[in-house]
Amino acid sequence: MKKRRGRGVGRIIEVHIAELSDRWEGLAELEGGKVHVPNTFVGDRVRARVISRRGPMRRALREEILEASPLRVEPPCEVADRCGGCPLMALAPETQRRLKVDRLRGALLGAGLAPEVVEAAMLEPLGDERVLGYRSKALFPVARREDGRLIAGLYEPHSHDLVPIESCPVQGPIVNRILPSLIDLLRDERVAPWEEASESGTLRWLLLRESFAAEEALVGLVTAGDLPEGLGERVAELHPSIAGVLEVRNEDAGNRAVTDDVRLLAGRDHLIESVAGVETRVTLTGFSQVNPGVASLLVAEVMEALQPAAGEGTLLDVYAGAAPFGLALAGHFGAVLAIEADPVAAEAARAAAQAAGLTRFEVSTGRAEDALALIPSDDQAPPAAAIVDPPRKGLVPEALTALVATGVGRIALVSCAPVALARDLAELNARGYRLERLRPVELFPQTHHLEVVATLVREDVPPSR
């Protein structure tokens, strides 16, 4: 029985969640349409308040769980029900993995891949037991509380209401040690949070990165105005694990935090992290995996996927970032060509290769489609293998075409977006590459993201044994 109190926005409803949407929000039937309710799961019966309506589709925020889904567990965070950062935290880790793999399977079948091909390729998920304290990167927007005090945290779903956070269970230990004292210092220094409505204030986000191997951190202050003189040095003195303090200037409208305008305020501008036994250089704004422990398992899976192609041939590392994959696999191939558009990450890859004494490790700075197009087509000696780790949107068509044109024998396609992955696999299959294996990797516990390593082999290359 659904409870009705008016028909518009603000109305209170009682619904039973029957399925999850593409965005992992609970979906319930309501008067011939659907209502989306974040922070709910299949089997929940909830009371919710409608916040928007478009035709038969409504969106509502949960106000009370009237009957809990049997899937629910007690989340290990006191703000899990309000914070939008960990939408799956109220599910057991094994349930999270099962649902994410089911979503991956559905995306692959929806893209037209044959069920027997998907099932033959699918392997058991990889992960480790650490489902908390695994993240090495944190990005917290800041705001002004009603009493005027600065707070940092994460937004509630579908709102601009900031949930204050001074310790987060999924963040690493150093970030959690630094954050409370950093917030206190910013309050004492009277650093004003940026207010979008009035376009006034200074500080927009706190960006923190830590190295689990070195037990050090970088602190980034994302600003739209001038900081107090000498603040960087005072931040650096907060904790001995702070290796560097940087300012990221961002006066652009919108929700993109990082820009290229980065200035070192104190200490140094990078950390050293160890992934699969290889030291990599991590910068504040460059790309690197946020779960270093499981990233080592990810590298091992890529290595196993490409091992049949190992030898004197060339390995392509496309969308390389700081090249953790290419650096780890360099000893198994004759040469490595890493391709990365971000100049900061590309320089970090060069520095790491030089430090490791890798003389046949080349880094090309530029777009993947442009760099791949420069590789000469050679039917006699095409690249032996490629690691391709594109952004969440997947391969742009020009990059996919250029990759296929190289004639590369084996591809390890790494993705955290099942729909984009499924689209790219279907297209590569149509261009003459067969799917050999699929390995889900639980890199982001408590969230709906799932990393996947898909191995493809050119049709005229014999299957591995």
How far from each other are the two terminal CA atoms of the chain, in whole angstroms?
58
- How many Å is the Cα radius of gyration of the chain? 24
Given strand 451-458, what is the order of strands in its sheet? 361-365, 335-340, 314-318, 385-388, 410-415, 451-458, 433-441
416 in active site: yes
Q: How far is residue 104's CA from residue 423's CA, in Å, rounded to a whole number?
A: 12
Q: Which of 77, 86, 168, 416 is catalytic?
A: 416
> Hey, what are 293's tokens?
């422990």
Does the CA dihedral 177-262-372-279 come out positive or negative? negative
Quick one: 3 exposed, middle or buried, by C-beta within 10 A (0-12, 13-18, 19+)?
Answer: exposed
Q: Which residues, at least 6 apart from 175, have a Cβ–Cβ distance to it below 8 Å?
A: 135, 138, 168, 208, 210, 217
Quick one: 309 exposed, middle or buried, by C-beta within 10 A (0-12, 13-18, 19+)?
Answer: buried
192 forms bridges with which residues in the sheet?
none
Q: How far is residue 341's CA from residue 169's CA, in Å, rounded to a whole number?
A: 33
| Beta-strand pair 335-340/314-318 | parallel
Nearest to 144 by CA among 168, 162, 167, 166: 162
List, in sequence order, the alpha helices (H) in 202-321: 231-236, 292-306
Nearest to 279 by CA among 351, 344, 223: 351
For the annotated catalytic residues, the residue numbers are 416
